[in-house]
Structure formats: structure tokens, C-alpha cells
Structure 1
């Protein structure tokens, strides 16, 4: 399930936040895709189902499933039902609870999330070496102001199986770090990223630009 992989995903996606700010400047999605004999569209039918049973039958899931169905139909596959479709498209999505990030309006401040000279201890990032009250850091100028904001890791999974044989034909994951935890914004854009250049090269991870959230 998606939630079980989030800790690993956060570390792998750390570099994505390098261009983030607290304002809505958009973000990048990393899309990984694997395929094994996924048939080219020739009238095969498909059905989108929830990979997580807790999402099955939900109105929100149905809305996102329609987006996936639209992309599959655009490729040339034909909508069907889970009982008789040639292809079963298993879809899942989630966003984590977020984590705090720091930035400075001045110069010289290093974000500890990326700085190898910092380490995590007792719930906070501290420089490697000596630390305590009165610690002087020459990297912080007197004109700097440190602000904090929250970033969220979002993810969708898309798997395609041959209904008759049960063989897995395609596995795809799209992940992103952004200042938004709004699934109604995140999921549609991650779906768009997933189907950009679909099905892609098996085993390749590509970075897709996602448009900023409208406010």
C-alpha cells in the first residue's frame, strides 16, 4: 500500500524540494513506470478499480477514477466493467501529513533538510558539531529572517493486470513534493503526469512538470 512506502519515498524525493518556496510556484512529479507485454490499444476493454478496499465505492475515488478512465480511453482502450474487461486498472492515491521546512529571506541560511552539515536530533535539525545556547553560526547574517512552512509528499499508484490470466502488465508510480495537501489539486495533476508519454520506457523514472495550484 502507498502509506507503507512513504518514509522511503520522502528520502528519495528530497531533491525535488530544492526549487520549492512557500508560494505556489508549482512542483515536479517523478514518474516511474514498468511494463511487461502491455498490449497496444486495439479495442481492448478496461475497468478502473480501487487497489485499496477502503476507497472502493467512494464518491471521491469515483471522481479520480473517471480521470484515469478518460486517459485510458484517450489512448484507445475501451471502457468496460470489472466482470468482463480485458484489463483491470488498479488505482490508489494518498498524501502524507507533511513536514516542516525552513527558508530565509536573507542570505547565507542553509536549509537543514538538504545540508549535509546538519543532522536530526530530538525533533529538530542542528548543525553537526557543537551546539547550544549562544552558539554562533557565521552562515546566518543579522539581516536574515527564518520562515517555516510545510511541504507534503503525494503519490498515486497505477497497476494494470490481464483479467483473464492475472498477469501484471504495467506498474506505475507518480510522486511529488509540494506545499499543498489538496487531493483535488494533486491527484488530477499526478494522473496527468502518469499518462504523459505513456507507457514510457520500462524501468525509467522521468520528471514531469506540474502546474501551480490556482488560488
Structure 2
């Protein structure tokens, strides 16, 4: 993605609250949206293109792009083609390689993944200093390690004729799943909840659980 800033921010802040039951109860997506003179839907045509050229023409990209298209069509926009559409919708998605986190039943131990107000601070484990990461060889009765993944979609809308940027949006989440087939549809749903939203505002949207 061209702008990984939100992914980095989520990695530092650990924005997901809850416990390991997140696997069964879903997770939270943080949606940030900015707009400048985005026209109200009155039949304007749009075309979805891959912001990452390596995704263009892919079957998987096409499946996720159809989800964005369905959302825009329900709002009142009309699907067109990139050569003549009023609006060009640039779409991208990504999930990282995951990071190890720690869960403890001890009230004295604070896990940055599950405490949204926690800031990374050094801690010492078996003689080594680290920042929020767990020594996988260390075991304790009330400490367990696990992997979490940060995912993000990005939707940008431009005026095809003038090239003016009309809308920018990101939907990001930290979760125990790295399955794009589960993550992307839910992030798209979060992105278009109360679309286009208030410019400059970040909102938290609940995501449904992954089916097992």
C-alpha cells in the first residue's frame, strides 16, 4: 500500500480490546474518512481500479472490488468503465505478517494488544530487554503468547476529468485472523457504514465473528 501509516499506528497502539475470545466474538475496525466535495449520489458513474498495479486484473482483486461496487451501487452511484466514468475509485487491501503478543491472567501484567491506552515500554524477560514482544521460549502458568495480524483496506475516489481527490478512506483492524477472504469483506462493510461519514473523523465499527 502507498500509505502504511495507519497500519503502523495500530501496531503501536494495539487498538483492539477484549481477550482471546475475539476469535469467537469478532473484532473492531477503525475507519478514518476524509472528503472534499464528494458529490451526493445522483446516478454518477464510477469505475474501480487497483491502486496497486500488481493486483490489477486479478481474480481475487475482482471479487473484493465487486463488494465495493455493490456498496456504491446501493448508495445510488452507477457502475461504469475507467474511460468514461465520472468517478475513479482506487482500491487496495493488505494484511501484515503478524506479531507475537502476550496474554496473562495476572492483573499486574498489561498486554498492549488488549489495552488501547497502553504505550510500548521496555520489559525484561529471562535476561533480555524487549518492546512489547514475548520470548516464545518463556512459559509461565498465567502467560501465553499468540499471533495477531493488522489488516487494512484503502478507498480513494477521484474526479476522472479534473483528477481532483474527492474522498480518502482507510479501514484497519488488528485480529487473530490473517484470512483476506474474511477480513476484506468485513473491512469493506465497515468502510461503507454511514458512508461517507464526517470528514476527518475516525470511528470504530464492530466486525462479525469469523465462521469456523
Deviations 1:124-151 (A, max 9, x none): 458xxxxxxxxxxxxxxx9x42211111
Check 1:65–1:21 CA distance in 2 against 1; reply closer, same or farther (3 A cut): same
RMSD, matched Cα: 2.2
* Aligned counterpart, 2:204: 207
Check 1:200–1:55 CA distance in 2 against 1; reply closer, same or farther (3 A cut): same
Query: Could you tell which deviates more after superposition, 76-85 or 145-154?
Result: 145-154
What is the CA–CA distance in structure 2 between the aligned matches of 1:158 and 1:117, rounded to whole Å? 30
What is the CA–CA distance in structure 1 between the aligned matches of 2:178 and 2:192, rounded to whole Å? 21
1:90-101 correspondence runs (5 A): 90-101=90-101
What is the CA–CA distance in structure 1 between the aligned matches of 2:129 and 2:66, rounded to whole Å? 41
What is the CA–CA distance in structure 2 between the aligned matches of 1:176 and 1:50, rounded to whole Å? 21
1:136-215 correspondence runs (5 A): 144-215=141-212
Alpha-carbon offset, residue 109 of structure 1: 4.7
Check 1:191–1:123 CA distance in 2 against 1; reply closer, same or farther (3 A cut): farther
1:80-95 correspondence runs (5 A): 80-95=80-95
Alpha-carbon offset, residue 123 of structure 1: 7.0
Alpha-carbon offset, residue 103 of structure 1: 1.1
Check 1:170–1:32 CA distance in 2 against 1; reply closer, same or farther (3 A cut): same
* Aligned counterpart, 1:18: 17
Check 1:91–1:17 CA distance in 2 against 1; reply closer, same or farther (3 A cut): same
Higher Cα Rg, which structure: 1
Are 1:112 and 1:119, in contact at CA under 8 Å, matched by a contact in 2? no
Deviations 1:83-139 (A, max 9, x none): 1100000000000111111112x433513435669416767458xxxxxxxxxxxxx
Deviations 1:133-184 (A, max 9, x none): xxxxxxxxx9x42211111110000000000000000000001000000000
TM-score by length of 1: 0.83
Give the number of equivalent residue pairs: 196
What is the CA–CA distance in structure 2 between the aligned matches of 1:89 and 1:117, rounded to whole Å? 36
* Aligned counterpart, 1:53: 53
What is the CA–CA distance in structure 2 between the aligned matches of 1:8 and 1:177, rounded to whole Å? 11
Q: Which runs of 5+ in 2 are unaligned?
A: 133-139
Alpha-carbon offset, residue 24 of structure 1: 2.9
TM-score by length of 2: 0.85
* Aligned counterpart, 1:132: none
Deviations 1:30-75 (A, max 9, x none): 0000000000111100001000001101110000000000000000
Query: What secondary structure does 2:17 align onto?
Result: helix
